[in-house]
Amino acid sequence: MRISHALGAALALGTLSSPAAFAADTSGHKASEPMSRGAYIARTADCTACHTTNDNTPFAGGLAMPTPMGDIYSTNITPDTKTGIGNYSLEDFTRVLREGVNKQGDHLYPAMPYTAYTKMTDADIKALYDYFMNEVAPVERANKESDIPWPLSMRWPLAAWNWMFMDKGVYEPQADKSDAWNRGAYLVQGATHCSTCHTPRGLAMQEKASSEQEEGFLAGADLGGWHAFNITNDPIDGLGNWSDAEIVQYLKTGAVQGKAQAAGPMGEAVEHSFRFMSDSDLQAIATYLRSVPAVNEGVSEETSRFTQGEPTPVDVQVRGLDLDTAKKQAPGASLYMGNCATCHGADGSGSPDGYYPSLYHNSVVGTTRLDNLTQVILNGVHRENNHGELLMPAFKTQLSDEEVATLVNFVTDTFGNPDAEITADEVKDIRDSGE
Ligand code: HEC
Ligand code: HEC
Ligand code: HEC
């Protein structure tokens, strides 16, 4: 996934003492700006997430996506006739989204989420096609070949994969459900492809379920360095104890104080896609998520990751000690006071307006899956929302694997899940997996 943390890394700690909160929106796309129906659908489907590597040449492709056999690259989908999709007819374009087969007849790797886009209606695909052909600027840039060596690079086995695992076909509304529910189901299973990240995968990398009717839908999955949490309706493991308004707010802003924030791939999905969606579409998503059967894997049996921990003063642990003694006697507390407390508070409460979130009642600190907390410390948070920018600096150059492990264990012990534990080796793996 494309993450630009350069800004976050460049900003020294001290310069952030007054939050640059809600400064001007620099993206050039305000959520309130009117957009065509096709542009809106491109937003909901987040085509840009994988097809844009440089903001000056949107949709020109070239993003490397790792597979177990080697990297593949997203393609140029600007209307350039030589290197992009300028020669695609509506039928060709529809076939890509519905079947994962391109104009040359090659089967695409399911890294392109056609297993979700297959649910999109003809009218939505037509609007999307018109948008790409008429509103996106053509860019001449040749596609990159995949790094997968022959014979593994042969694409015909993908046809067999599709035959075994893909449920082809447009979403069919359920007559006994409300319009809002059907709209939500259509968006979640289709364009917004929540399932691509949140549904666990089987041995052949297929998603184990493609709708609420199959077991395990949205039950949580590892993305290589990140964990996309269980968002089924379970009150402990999933979103069962969130209100509809909180789900809408999370998708719109990426943050619900006292519950969760969106960093990494989810932060990007909020930044590039969900925050542009209408309130009624986000409400429809919340309505549908309510009906996704609860899955509880027993990771936490009584306390949800959102309710772990409480305010705990850390400064008292190092008070009166000189730096060297503090580092020896209370290594976790001194790392916390030195690196985190300025923003998240000496007792982990964050700031009253929630710009700096509390570390107790915070899903990434309250869980035993520590990938996300480790990533956030290593790589920081940078997310644009409809009011401005959110920035947490990256600590990867300042802190060693050992220090990050000490800090993660201290933060989870103090503010979150006491059963959570990480080693320096595991931090190294997450560091090496990249952002
Ligand atoms: C999660 C990443 C991802 C997202 C999101 C995504 N794509 Fe793709 N797309 C890819 C990858 C990777 C390929 C190349 C696959 C391959 O080489 O087999 C691809 C290939 C394509 C192709 C085939 C082009 C060609 O000439 O072969 C088209 C067209 C396309 N995508 C359009 C779209 C549209 C439209 C959207 C939004 C509705 C979208 N993609 C969203 C990853 C993505
Ligand atoms: C590109 C991958 C990706 C997509 C697409 C995606 N998510 Fe997520 N989601 C994640 C990751 C990773 C996290 C964890 C983020 C973090 O901890 O900072 C997450 C977190 C969440 C959370 C917070 C859960 C918690 O316990 O903290 C909610 C709610 C959520 N996603 C809902 C959705 C919905 C609804 C959709 C579709 C409309 C969606 N996501 C699409 C990757 C994704
Ligand atoms: C300069 C201020 C600043 C500093 C220093 C800082 N943070 Fe943050 N932190 C933020 C901001 C801003 C966010 C994003 C809030 C949001 O997404 O709404 C954040 C988010 C987080 C999150 C939630 C991430 C998620 O995905 O749910 C955690 C956990 C966190 N910080 C822990 C830490 C730790 C541990 C340290 C010390 C190594 C630290 N922070 C240092 C400003 C800071």
- CA 358 vs. chain centroid, Å, equals 20
- Answer yes or no: is pLDDT of 405 > 60: yes
- Whether residue 177 is predicted with pLDDT greater than 70 in this model: the reply is yes
Place of tokens 């990751």: 305
Burial environment of residue 44 by CB neighbours within 10 A (0 to 12, 13 to 18, 19 or more)? buried
In terms of Cβ atoms closer than 10 Å to its own Cβ (0-12, 13-18, 19+), residue 432 is: exposed
51 lines ligand 1 (CB under 6 A): yes
Report residue 183: phi and psi, to 5°: -65, -45
Q: Provide the mean pLDDT of the chain.
A: 89
pLDDT beyond 50 at 26: no
Q: Angle formed by the axes of helices 401-415 and 424-432, to 10°? A: 110
Ligand nearest to the backbone CA of 61: 1
User: For the whole model, what pTM was predicted?
Assistant: 0.92
What pLDDT shows up at residue 169? 87
Task: List the beta strands (DSSP E) in 241-354.
Answer: 255-256, 260-261
Q: Over range 263-274, report the average pLDDT.
A: 96
What's the pLDDT at 20? 33
Atom of ligand 2 nearest to the CA of 372: 17
Distance in Å, CA 344 to ligand 3 centroid: 7
Dihedral angle computed from the Cα positions of residues 13, 18, 19 and 20, in that order, rounded to the nearest 10 degrees: -100
- Give per-residue burial for 357-396: e unless 16+ CB within 10 Å, then b: bbbbbbbbbbbebbbbbbbbbbbbbbbbbeebbbbbbbbb
Nearest atom of ligand 1 to the alpha carbon of 191: 38
Domain residue spans of the chain: 1-12+32-170, 315-432
Q: Phi, psi at residue 201, to the nearest 5°?
A: -110, 155
Superfamily in which the 315-432 domain is placed by CATH: Cytochrome c-like domain (1.10.760.10)
For 425: left if phi > 0, alpha if psi spans -120 to 50, otherwise beta; the answer is: alpha
Task: Give dist(CA 88, CA 78) in Å, integer.
Answer: 11
- Which segment of 182-186, 202-206, 233-237, 276-280 scores lowest on mean pLDDT? 202-206
Q: Which of 272, 207, 210 is nearest to 47 (CA)?
A: 272
Nearest atom in ligand 2 to 375's CA: 18
218: number of Cβ within 10 Å: 29
User: What's the gap in Å between 53 CA and the centre of ligand 2?
Assistant: 22
Residue 273 has pLDDT above 70, yes or no: yes
Give dist(CA 265, CA 423) in Å, integer.
24
Q: Which ligand 2 atom is the nearest neighbour of the CA of 259?
A: 27
Nearest listed ligand to the Cα of residue 110: 1
**pLDDT at 359 (0 to 100):** 98
For residue 159, the CA-to-ligand 1 centroid distance in Å is 17
Q: Which of 102, 379, 429 is nearest to 268 (CA)?
A: 379
Residues near 93 by beta carbon (within 8 Å), at least 6 away in sequence: 85, 125, 128, 129, 132
Closest ligand relative to 199 C-alpha:
2
pLDDT per residue as tens digits for the range 214-236: 999 999 999 888 999 999 999 99
Among 183, 198, 367, residue to substitute to test ligand 2 (most atoms within 8 Å of Cβ): 198
Q: Which residue has the higher pLDDT, 170 or 14?
A: 170
For 170, the 3-state DSSP assignment is coil
Q: Measuring from atom 9 of ligand 3, which residue has the nearest CA?
A: 392
Q: What is the pLDDT of residue 205?
A: 80
- Rounded Cα distance between 26 and 63, Å, is 23
Q: What's residue 30's pLDDT? A: 53
Rounded distance from Cα 203 to ligand 2 centre (Å) = 22
